[in-house]
């Protein structure tokens, strides 16, 4: 498995994953339709938007429908002769702090047929140097209390449990776990 910068060559496989019901955003049911609409409108712009170090894209839509400012970030694709999943990194320049509406620096999702192969663990390991290159000393990641697979992925990459927290109201008031990986 390799992390690849999204490209038009890889886009048909990404699109097929979306059409099968996989979502890059585990927090929003509308993400699939939004992604497909953006691809249909302008495939080249969609692919180019996956790496946005200057936060030039418009505001992001939260799960509750509110709009929030976009942070600089990138979304890379897990690739093993086909699309396997995506992993995203976001940050605020000059600080490790994140706004309350951003749960963590890194988020990932593997398509169901590719799970249990270590792809998320490897993708997380491979994106950490990108975070360090952006000047971050550490990254914070969050997961649901019952997401044991994600907890294992984070721990395998040196994650240290920071504790339980209550998610921002945009995500519904529920508890999660916060981990930190020092770079």
Question: What is the CATH classification number for the domain harbouring 89?
Answer: 3.40.630.30
| Residues 132, 62: Cα–Cα separation, whole Å | 27
Q: What is the pLDDT of residues 53-72, one digit of tens each?
A: 999 988 988 877 889 999 99
What mean pLDDT is predicted for residues 16-41?
A: 88
Q: What is the pLDDT of residues 62-100, one digit of tens each?
A: 877 889 999 999 999 999 999 999 999 999 999 999 998
Q: Look up the domain containing 102 and give its range.
A: 2-182
Report pTM: 0.94
98 C-beta neighbours (distance < 10 Å), count: 16
Domain count, the chain: 1
Average pLDDT, the chain: 94
Closest by CA to 119, choosing from 82, 170, 69, 80, is: 80
Indicate the pLDDT class of residue 172, thresholds 50, 70 and 90: confident
| Entry field: residues in the chain | 183
């Amino acid at each position: 498995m390799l992390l690849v910068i999204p490209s038009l060559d890889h886009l048909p496989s990404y699109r097929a994953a979306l059409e099968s019901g996989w979502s890059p955003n585990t927090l929003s049911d509308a993400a699939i339709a939004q992604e497909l609409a953006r691809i249909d409108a302008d495939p080249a712009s969609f692919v180019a938007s996956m790496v946005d170090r200057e936060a030039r894209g418009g505001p992001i839509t939260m799960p509750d429908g509110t709009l929030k400012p976009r942070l600089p970030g990138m979304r890379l694709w897990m690739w093993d002769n086909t699309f396997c999943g995506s992993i995203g990194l976001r940050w605020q320049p000059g600080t490790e702090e994140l706004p309350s509406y951003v749960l963590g620096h890194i988020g990932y999702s593997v398509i169901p047929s590719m799970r249990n192969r270590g792809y998320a663990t490897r993708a997380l390991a491979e994106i950490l140097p990108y975070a360090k290159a952006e000047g971050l000393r550490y990254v914070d990641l969050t997961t649901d209390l019952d997401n044991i697979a994600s907890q294992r992925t984070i721990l395998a990459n040196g994650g240290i449990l920071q504790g339980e927290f209550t998610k921002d109201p945009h995500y519904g008031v529920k508890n999660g776990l916060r981990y930190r990986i020092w770079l």
